[in-house]
Structure 1
Amino acid sequence: MPQAHTLSQQEIIAQTEDWLEKAVIGLNLCPFAKAVQVKKQIRYVVSAAETPQALLHDLQQELETLAEANPEKIDTTLLIHPFVLNDFLDFNDFLDVADGLLEELDLDGILQIANFHPDYQFADSSPDDMSNYTNRSPFPTLHLLREDSISRAVEAFPEAEAIFEKNIETMEQLGIEGWHRLFPDRSK
């Protein structure tokens, strides 16, 4: 896979959309994603930030944009940041800062932040554990979601609490070979 600095914003978004369509929607890792993708209610933003502080600034802008936007136009935002927090542990530490920003903006309970990373690793798992692939994206990504949308989706989906376990099962059945067939141009 080419280094992020050699890719255009359009190429970064295209790789992210490809991952969303093949993994998140295609493997049904998130049963709620297809509707917003079909309705074109996902805002894709590529941050040029190269420091956590610059990313925090971009995150604030995107949280405010999403909070003010008509949900029929923008229901969710993927803030892709390929040039900062490429180390998963640094990324993971930043999530506390991101959640603190939500509270500071009084958006806690209105919006929430999910996270995806090329090297995503759940606590107490080994790096090559297939369960990690449920959250592995082509680039570090903060997913900004509306709490109302999540609530409606969960109400409409029977046994929403079982999604996580089903996703791990799906990834284990797929295996690393299956993942590489989905994304032959990626090493992870």
Structure 2
Amino acid sequence: MSAFLISPRYNTTYNPTYFIPTMANLTSPLLEQHVIDATLKWVDDIVIEHNFCPFARYVRTPSGIRCVVIGGDVGDVIQSLYDEVRHLEENEDTATTLIALTHTTLGDFDEYLDVLAIADNMLHDWGYSGTYQLASFHPDYIFDGSEASDAENFTNRSPYPLLHLIREADITRYMKKEEDAEKIFSHNIEKAQSLGCPYFEKVLKEIKKDKPAE
């Protein structure tokens, strides 16, 4: 699959006990701006640079990619997801939204997958299945069936945990112009393996080097 647009190879389950809203914002303005800058630089330097998503370059405009930062826990994440769905509903010039998550617990990949499962289920409950979908990215992303040391994981390893909110109609439109999902995914694996883990580790470290103290 594409690192930017197409869903990961994970079957997640909904655990309602995680849905405890706090409405706390734990992200400082300096950290928030750093996370936005780092995320967009990752889009430029990895996703677009290596064509992991053939469509990303089309939406990389001043208003095309919206990036928001959420410092709270799962309740805040779900509230933000709803707000961003409404934003896309009301703003056609915004092509897609990246929700960056900075709560410390979401640095754990398994905890992140639990939140991803809740978010997917909430989109369904809100009546947006078939209208929007989520793609997932995380600093410790591991594809199902892969080892943590496999270079292919770096196609979905972002500087910070992300939920990528996408219009289904855009995926359908771009898919008609580009290779199918399996061809994109195969290309990404081959490209990542040819570049190797040390390359990605170096680039991601450079992207995050100016992170302010929390």
TM-score higher than 0.5? yes
Aligned twin of 1:41:
64
- State yes or no: 1:128 paired with 2:146: no
Q: Distance in 2 between matches of 1:22 and 1:87?
A: 24
Aligned twin of 1:64:
86
Does the residue aligned with 2:166 lie in a helix, a strand or coil?
strand
TM-score of the pair, normalised by structure 1: 0.89
Q: Distance in 1 between matches of 2:69 and 2:29?
A: 14
Q: Distance in 1 between matches of 2:109 and 2:161?
A: 8
- State yes or no: 1:14 paired with 2:37: yes
Aligned counterpart for 2:101 among listed residues 78, 81, 91: 81
Task: Give the conservation status (yes or no) of the 8 Å contact 1:46–1:80.
Answer: yes
Q: Distance in 2 between matches of 1:39 and 1:53?
A: 29
Task: Give the conservation status (yes or no) of the 8 Å contact 2:52–2:155.
Answer: yes
Q: Distance in 2 between matches of 1:160 and 1:97?
A: 25
Map residues 157-168 of structure 1 onto 2, 5 A cutoff: 157-168=178-189
The amino acid of 1:169's aligned partner reads: E
Task: Give the conservation status (yes or no) of the 8 Å contact 1:67–1:111.
Answer: no
Map residues 88-99 of structure 1 onto 2, 5 A cutoff: 88-99=109-120
- Structure 2: tracts of 5 or more residues without a match: 1-26, 210-214
The amino acid of 2:51's aligned partner reads: N
Does the residue aligned with 1:134 lie in a helix, a strand or coil?
helix
Shift of 1:184: 4.1
Q: Distance in 1 between matches of 2:178 and 2:62?
A: 19
Task: Give the conservation status (yes or no) of the 8 Å contact 1:41–1:74.
Answer: yes
Shift of 1:39: 5.8
The amino acid of 2:98's aligned partner reads: L
Task: Give the conservation status (yes or no) of the 8 Å contact 2:36–2:69.
Answer: yes
The number of equivalent residue pairs is 181
- State yes or no: 1:143 paired with 2:164: yes
Aligned twin of 2:18:
none
Q: Distance in 2 between matches of 1:165 and 1:74?
A: 29
Task: Give the conservation status (yes or no) of the 8 Å contact 2:131–2:168.
Answer: yes
TM-score of the pair, normalised by structure 2: 0.79
Q: Distance in 1 between matches of 2:68 and 2:29?
A: 17
Seen in structure 2, the aligned counterparts of structure 1 residues 6 and 63 have a Cα distance that, compared at 3 Å, is: closer
Does the residue aligned with 2:54 lie in a helix, a strand or coil?
coil
Seen in structure 2, the aligned counterparts of structure 1 residues 64 and 6 have a Cα distance that, compared at 3 Å, is: closer
Kindly indicate whether structure 1 or structure 2 has the higher relative contact order, using CA contacts under 8 Å at least 6 residues apart.
2
- State yes or no: 1:27 paired with 2:47: no
Q: Distance in 1 between matches of 2:138 and 2:52?
A: 15
Task: Give the conservation status (yes or no) of the 8 Å contact 2:159–2:204.
Answer: no
Shift of 1:7: 4.7
Task: Give the conservation status (yes or no) of the 8 Å contact 2:150–2:197.
Answer: no
Aligned twin of 2:3:
none
The amino acid of 1:120's aligned partner reads: Y
Aligned twin of 1:103:
124
Task: Give the conservation status (yes or no) of the 8 Å contact 2:155–2:192.
Answer: yes
